Amino acid sequence: MAGVNISYLMEVSYAYDYNTSNLNVANSGSHEIVLGLKLFNSAKVICPRWMN
């Protein structure tokens, strides 16, 4: 899993899930891409930790 803040309004993340059980003959893994929009970030804070 990895992610990056593009701006104070947008972030992008990527994750890969690898199957380690006996079901790996039917499923080789999955990819996930997430686009996050911070709609009410009027203070232009990038990290939620600093939103006080």
**In this predicted model, what pLDDT tens digit does every residue of 12-51 receive, in sequence order?**
999 999 888 887 788 888 999 999 988 887 777 776 665 5
**What pLDDT sits at residue 49?**
65
**What pLDDT sits at residue 50?**
57
How many domains does the chain fold into? Answer: 1
**What pLDDT sits at residue 39?**
85
Q: How confident is the model at residue 52 (pLDDT cuts 50, 70, 90)?
A: low
Residue of 36, 38, 32, 30 lying closest to 14 (CA atoms): 32
Neighbours of 23 (CB within 10 A): 8
Residues 8, 44: Cα–Cα separation, whole Å: 5
Which residue range forms the structural domain that includes residue 11? Answer: 2-50
Residues 16, 5: Cα–Cα separation, whole Å: 19
